């Protein structure tokens, strides 16, 4: 299926029952004491490199790994638990710990013949040595006290590695109860996705247990198409809205405009992102694709000349909703109100639509879905080889398939009523 496989590993600590345990391989304090935490001892930098050189090839041969997961290595500051043993080189210097950590990442990449993933927190020191980490930095900084100045992340980390999400929601919203409501309308989920996109991070797939299946699917569809446009693409421009104009970073810092947390990013492929991370409930009006959008706090708009349009915002004529138009799929979440966007109409709920070979629409009715209307002449990118008045529709559930014929109304709309227990629908455009 194309998935990578790695074995969870960490070479930084060891417990007393491990066969590799030896008092000569563990760190010492300035007084010569061992550094134990929860009965686990910190290993000397050169010692964990030596242990890794023996164990990593065996892990690869035994389990057939094709990438590496090095837990903890990129989340701990190299000056934490520095080895002060006078018998080792660079005693009391964190330089050795940093160099050994960087080397083990390079070694793991070679051994497993694939990317190296580690835990976030101090990954900015290892960008380029590590390939991907959880996307949080500054372990003790509360989310609502972050400056959200994205320049360092986008200009120096983004070209060298992939940060994923902002960590997960519990990592990002530390000491904040973000769990209610348990559905796709949770404002913390909205803010998390907008922040992920503002920082140019890879999307974090949220758990169905936390925000329901509808929340997990929203997290996938709303971010997937956007992230595919900026991962691996360098940034061309970063700006901050000051209430009137988008200004450069230096001016934003000098005038405190960055405190509005209304961020604009343009990539070298001309992808544009507007993200409103404001904490004062201030909306942000923008013009995108010759249309005005109002971005609420926790919302965003993203657009690319190749046809991508994705947003969580409201327009002049519509209340807040979520919409994605991409080369791979369409996604519409009306927030449980009747709404029509670009030839797709929903009475309630959300739906994802994939176009297959310009001949079939594969429709995934997401939770709360009731009735879908489609006008094939108004959906961007769909070109029918032949025009028909009626179309064959197939309903799929776990055990059966039900076929129906549906007809266009006088205005060209097809109406699809939901059937019980249906997991997908296929609309045949070629009959």
In a shared domain, residues 106 and 23: yes
Looking at 296, 328, 360, the residue that finishes a domain is 328
Q: pLDDT band at 431, cuts 50/70/90?
A: low
Domain boundary among 95, 118, 134: 134
Q: Are residues 363 and 218 in the same domain?
A: no
Find the length of the chain.
Answer: 431
End position of a domain, from candidates 112, 134, 156: 134
Residue 386 has pLDDT above 80, yes or no: no
Q: Are residues 23 and 96 in the same domain?
A: yes
pLDDT digits (tens, 9 = 90+) for 300-350: 999 999 999 999 999 988 999 999 999 999 999 999 899 999 999 998 899
Q: Residue 403 has which token pair?
A: 């076929």
Does 247 share its domain with 309?
A: yes
The CATH number for 96's domain is 3.20.20.70
Q: Is the overall model pTM greater than 0.75, yes or no?
A: yes
Same domain, 129 and 156: no
- Residues 151, 290, single domain; the answer is yes
Shared-domain flag, residues 291 and 191: yes
Note down the domain range covering 386: 335-431
285 token code pair: 């009006």
| Interval 368-382: pLDDT, tens | 888 999 999 999 988
Q: What is the tens place of the pLDDT at every residue in 123-142?
A: 999 999 999 999 988 767 78
Domain count, the chain: 3
8-state DSSP, 264: E
Which phi-psi region, left, alpha or beta, contains residue 385 (left: φ > 0; alpha: ψ -120 to 50)?
alpha
**Which of 232, 74, 62 lies closest to 139 in space, CA to CA?**
74
Task: Identify whether the C-beta of residue 44 lies closer than 8 Å to the C-beta of residue 88.
Answer: yes
Q: Are both 279 and 416 inside the same structural domain?
A: no
Reply yes or no on whether the pLDDT at 63 is more than 70. Answer: yes
Do 366 and 278 share a structural domain? Answer: no
**Per-chain mean pLDDT for the chain:** 93
Query: Mean of the pLDDT values across residues 5-25?
Result: 92
- Share of residues in the chain with pLDDT > 70 (%): 99
């Amino acid at each position: 299926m194309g998935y990578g496989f790695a074995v969870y590993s960490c070479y930084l600590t060891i417990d007393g029952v491990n066969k590799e345990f030896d008092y000569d391989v563990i760190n010492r304090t300035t007084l010569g004491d061992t550094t134990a935490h929860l009965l686990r001892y910190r290993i000397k930098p050169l010692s964990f490199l030596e242990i890794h050189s023996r164990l990593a090839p065996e892990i690869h041969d035994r389990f057939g790994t094709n990438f590496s997961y090095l837990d903890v290595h990129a989340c701990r500051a190299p000056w934490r638990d520095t080895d002060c043993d006078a018998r080792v080189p660079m005693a009391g210097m964190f330089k050795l710990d940093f160099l050994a950590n960087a080397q083990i990442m390079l070694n793991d990449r070679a051994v497993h013949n694939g990317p190296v993933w580690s835990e976030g927190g101090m990954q900015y020191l290892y960008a380029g040595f590590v390939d991907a980490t959880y996307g949080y930095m500054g372990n003790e900084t509360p989310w609502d006290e972050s400056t959200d100045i994205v320049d360092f992340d986008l200009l120096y980390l983004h070209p060298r590695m992939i940060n994923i999400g902002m960590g997960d929601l519990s990592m990002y919203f530390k000491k904040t109860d973000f769990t209610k409501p348990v559905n796709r309308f949770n404002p913390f989920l909205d803010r998390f996705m907008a922040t992920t996109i503002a920082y140019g991070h890879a999307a974090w797939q949220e758990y169905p247990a936390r925000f329901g299946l509808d929340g997990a699917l929203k997290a996938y569809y709303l971010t997937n198409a956007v992230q595919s446009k900026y991962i691996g693409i360098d940034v061309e421009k970063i700006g901050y809205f000051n209430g009137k104009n988008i200004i450069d970073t230096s001016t934003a810092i000098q005038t405190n405009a960055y405190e509005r947390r209304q961020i604009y990013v343009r990539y070298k492929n001309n992808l544009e992102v507007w993200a409103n991370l404001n904490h004062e409930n201030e909306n942000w009006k923008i013009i995108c694709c010759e249309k005005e959008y109002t971005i609420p706090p926790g919302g965003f708009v993203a657009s690319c000349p190749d046809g991508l349009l994705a947003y969580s915002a409201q327009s002049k004529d519509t209340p807040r909703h979520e919409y994605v138009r991409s080369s791979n799929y369409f996604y519409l979440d009306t927030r449980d109100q009747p709404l029509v966007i670009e030839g797709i109409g929903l009475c309630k709920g959300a739906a994802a639509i994939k176009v297959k070979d310009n001949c079939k629409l594969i429709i995934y009715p997401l939770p709360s879905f009731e009735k879908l209307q489609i006008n094939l002449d108004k959906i961007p990118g769909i070109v029918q080889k032949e025009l028909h008045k009626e179309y064959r529709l197939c309903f799929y559930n776990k055990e059966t398939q039900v076929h129906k014929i549906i007809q266009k109304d006088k205005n060209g709309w097809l109406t699809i009523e939901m059937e019980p227990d249906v997991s997908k629908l296929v609309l045949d455009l070629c009959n």
